[in-house]
Protein backbone atom coordinates (compact mmCIF):
# COMPACT_ATOMS: atom_id res chain seq x y z
CA UNK A 1 0.00 0.00 0.00
CA UNK A 2 1.47 3.43 -0.89
CA UNK A 3 2.35 5.84 1.88
CA UNK A 4 0.10 8.89 2.28
CA UNK A 5 1.96 12.21 2.10
CA UNK A 6 0.87 13.07 5.66
CA UNK A 7 2.60 9.99 7.06
CA UNK A 8 6.32 10.13 7.89
CA UNK A 9 8.66 8.06 5.76
CA UNK A 10 10.23 5.07 7.43
CA UNK A 11 12.85 6.22 9.93
CA UNK A 12 11.54 9.80 10.08
CA UNK A 13 10.12 11.26 13.26
CA UNK A 14 7.40 13.84 13.54
CA UNK A 15 6.42 15.83 16.57
CA UNK A 16 3.40 17.83 17.64
CA UNK A 17 3.80 20.95 19.69
CA UNK A 18 1.70 23.57 21.47
CA UNK A 19 3.75 26.61 22.49
CA UNK A 20 2.68 28.83 25.38
CA UNK A 21 3.59 32.52 25.47
CA UNK A 22 3.78 34.58 28.64
CA UNK A 23 4.15 38.35 28.46
CA UNK A 24 3.15 41.51 30.29
CA UNK A 25 3.74 43.62 27.18
CA UNK A 26 0.41 44.99 25.90
CA UNK A 27 1.66 44.79 22.30
CA UNK A 28 2.09 41.00 22.61
CA UNK A 29 -0.84 40.13 24.87
CA UNK A 30 -2.67 38.45 21.97
CA UNK A 31 0.05 35.78 21.89
CA UNK A 32 -0.61 34.89 25.54
CA UNK A 33 -4.38 34.78 24.91
CA UNK A 34 -4.21 32.52 21.83
CA UNK A 35 -3.87 28.74 21.60
CA UNK A 36 -1.37 27.53 19.00
CA UNK A 37 -0.71 23.98 17.81
CA UNK A 38 1.86 22.75 15.37
CA UNK A 39 3.76 19.84 13.90
CA UNK A 40 7.25 19.29 12.59
CA UNK A 41 8.79 17.39 9.74
CA UNK A 42 12.36 16.96 8.59
CA UNK A 43 13.37 18.54 5.29
CA UNK A 44 16.84 17.50 4.33
CA UNK A 45 19.59 16.56 6.74
CA UNK A 46 19.91 19.79 8.71
CA UNK A 47 16.47 21.38 8.41
CA UNK A 48 13.27 20.90 10.40
CA UNK A 49 10.06 22.57 9.23
CA UNK A 50 7.69 23.69 11.99
CA UNK A 51 4.17 24.51 10.86
CA UNK A 52 2.05 26.42 13.39
CA UNK A 53 -1.70 27.00 13.50
CA UNK A 54 -3.78 29.36 15.61
CA UNK A 55 -6.96 27.88 17.04
CA UNK A 56 -10.09 30.00 17.01
pLDDT, residue 43, reads 85
Where do the structural domains in the chain lie, given as residue ranges?
Answer: 16-55
Cα gap 45→16, rounded to integer Å: 20
Contact 48, 41 (CB under 8 A): yes
Cα gap 32→35, rounded to integer Å: 8
pLDDT, residue 45, reads 84
Q: Per residue of the chain (56 residues), what is the pLDDT tens digit? A: 555 556 666 767 788 999 999 999 999 999 999 999 999 988 888 998 999 999 98
pTM of the model: 0.66
pLDDT, residue 6, reads 61
Amino acid sequence: MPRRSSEPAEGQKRYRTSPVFRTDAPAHRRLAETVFVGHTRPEGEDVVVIRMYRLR
